[in-house]
Amino acid sequence: MTSAVNLRKVPLTTARGTAALDPQVIRRDFPVFENNPGLVFLDSAASAQKPRAVIDGIAEFYRRDYANVHRGVYRLSARSTDLFEEAREKVRRFLNAADHHEIVFVRGTTEGINLVANSYGTNFIKAGDEVLITELEHHSNIVPWQMLCERVGSKLVVVPIEATGGLDMAALDRLIGPRTKLVAMTHVANTTGAMLPIETITRLAHERGAKVLIDGAQAAPRMTVDVQAIDCDFYVFSGHKAYGPTGIGVLYGKRALLDAMPPWESGGGMILNVTYEKTTYQEPPHRFEAGTPDISGVVGLGMAIDYLEGLGRDRIFAHEEALTGYAVDVLSALPGVRVPAAGQRRLAVVSLDVEGIHPHDLATILDQHKVAVRAGHHCAQPLMDKLGLAATTRASLGVYNDESDIDALAAAIRAAQDLFGGARAPR
């Protein structure tokens, strides 16, 4: 495949090596920091910034190698198809899936979960069955299961968290029963950063005959993921949180399961043969990829994966976990600042409650100090209710963050407290 050479003209990163990551060097890979001097970007859990390798790589792909895929006889289309399928192979390696047929391209984590709920759920989950989720889930891992349960008459069961913010494993053990058909849970929680022991939970679920879906939206960009070691049945993540383009995501599913699942959407590219009487479907993954796919999104995701692997995923994990610890220490030491659910192993996400200052006010003030954070319910309203908060301010980390960003956040919080005069607002 000579085509791949073109794209590799764009240097991946200047930050290769085996030592600890140097975010100050990594930052040079991200043009957004050049164009927004002084930006303290602490909202990567919502969406990560894009490295030059992805931005320029996509432009270069459009300039040289773009055509529709899996269609044309001409060489340009073949080259585009090669790059598209090469990206699928990169994703396979990224998740250590056994087989590239197990990698389905979707628009994002949300669509991946909906595909499983609609295709697998509708056909294999029946009235009286149970779907288990946890209290740490994002709305996108709650609502598709709620809708499925309403449709087929199954029951949604929610595993509670402990006061420390970790999952209540004793409750989980009680709640996974003979009626449980599917366990859907996050790998790393988007509101609190809690890391779930997904290998243990998957083993338990399998022992009791349930399938397992993992929402990897926050985990995949930050740690090595091995779906064969986890042994989960489905794993989903989004490209845009992994430094890739928006509008592209991945559903991994075990081959035997995907083979048994009917298509969810229909159209071109997903069929083997169409007559007015009967249509036979392509094998996975094409069965689930009706219509012209997000070609540049897929190719761009492959470039983002190259970028992350260039940095080293174990190094990214070590860096972000250490920085998370620093953030929890520094922020919870500030007077009037509480870090809810800080008592468990967490990664890259720190939610804050600043006494007397509503998160929306805080985020406005932080923004004036060039500190970008998320304020709100983080698409996890049931969890916010459990924590007794209407909203929180969330700081989240990426490969370009270091201790100076946390210090800037802490200084800006103090400035907000000064502005509000330490007054205590009623809640």
Partner 1 sequence: MMDLRELYQDIILDHGHHPRNKRAIEQPSHFAHGHNPLCGDKVTIYLKMDGERIGDVSFEGRGCAISTAAASLMTEILKGKTIAEADTLFRAFHAKVTGGAEPEPVEALADDLERLEPLTGVRAFPIRVKCATLPWHAFEAALKSGAIGTTVKTE
**Residue 15 or 40: which CB sits closer to partner 1?**
40
Indicate the residue among 228 and 364 with the shorter CB distance to partner 1.
364
Quick note: the x/- pattern for partner 1 over 367-406, rule CB under 8 A, is -xx-----xxx---x--x-----xx---------------
Which is nearest to 105 in space by CA: 225, 317, 284, 261?
Answer: 284
- Whichever of 117 and 391 has its CB closer to partner 1, that residue is 391
Q: Which is nearer to partner 1, 368 or 404 (CB)?
A: 368
Minimum distance, C-beta of residue 80 to partner 1, in the bound complex (Å)? 40
Least gap, CB of 416 to partner 1 (angstroms): 9
Q: Site for partner 1 (CB under 8 A): which residue of 272, 364, 403, 404?
A: 364
**Counting Cβ atoms within 10 Å, is residue 30 exposed (0-12), middle (13-18) or buried (19+)?**
buried
Nearer to partner 1, 45 or 391 (CB): 391
* Smallest distance from partner 1 to CB 383, Å: 13
Catalytic residue among 131, 371, 379, 413: 379
Report, in Å, the least distance between residue 142 CB and partner 1: 16
Binders in 344-363 for partner 1, by CB under 8 A: 356-361
Q: String of b and e for 115-136 (b: at least 16 CB within 10 Å)?
A: bbbbbbbeeebeeebbbbbbbb
Please say which residue, 209 or 422, places its beta carbon nearer to partner 1: 422
Name residue 423's amino acid.
Answer: A
Residue 299 contacts partner 1 per CB under 8 A: no
Closer to partner 1 at the Cβ: 248 or 380? 380
Type of residue numbered 264: W
Taking the complex as a whole, the smallest distance from the CB of residue 384 to partner 1 amounts, in Å, to: 8
Q: Is 421 in the site for partner 1 (CB under 8 A)?
A: yes
Q: For residue 36, state whether it binds partner 1 (rule: CB under 8 A).
A: no
42 binds partner 1 (CB under 8 A): no
SS (H, E, C) the chain: CCHHHHHCCCCCCCCCCCCCCCHHHHHHHCHHHHHCCCCEECECCCCCCCCHHHHHHHHHHHHHCCCCCCCCCCHHHHHHHHHHHHHHHHHHHHHCCCCHHHEEEECCHHHHHHHHHHHHHHHHCCCCCEEEEECCCCHHHCHHHHHHHHHHCCEEEEECECCCCCECHHHHHHHCCCCEEEEEEECECCCCCEECCHHHHHHHHHHCCCEEEEECCCCCCCCCCCHHHHCCCEEEEECHHHCCCCCCEEEEECHHHHHHCCCCCCCCCCEEEECCCCEEECCCCHHHCCCCCCHHHHHHHHHHHHHHHHHCHHHHHHHHHHHHHHHHHHHHCCCCEECCCCCCCECCEEEEEECCCCHHHHHHHHHHCCEECEEECCCCHHHHHHHCCCCEEEEECCCCCCHHHHHHHHHHHHHHHHHCCCCCCCC
Task: Sort 414 into a burial class: Cβ within 10 Å, 0-12 / 13-18 / 19+.
Answer: middle
Is 232 a residue of the active site? no
Please, which residue, 269 or 376, has the CB nearer to partner 1? 376
Query: Counting contacts by CB under 8 A, is residue 71 touching partner 1?
Result: no
Closest approach of partner 1 to the CB of residue 34, in Å: 20
- What is the distance between the alpha carbons of residues 191 and 24, in angstroms, rounded to a whole number? 26
Residue 420 makes contact with partner 1 by CB under 8 A: yes
Task: Indicate which single residue of 365, 383, 397, 406 sits in contact with partner 1 (rule: CB under 8 A).
Answer: 365
Q: How far is the CB of 375 from partner 1 (least distance, A)?
A: 7
CB of 378 to partner 1, least distance (A): 10
194 binding partner 1? (CB under 8 A): no
CA–CA dist 54, 191 (Å, integer) = 27
Footprint of partner 1 on residues 105-144 (CB under 8 A)?
Answer: none
Residues binding partner 1 (CB under 8 A): 356-361, 364-365, 368-369, 375-377, 381, 384, 390-391, 419-421, 423-427
Annotated catalytic residues are 379
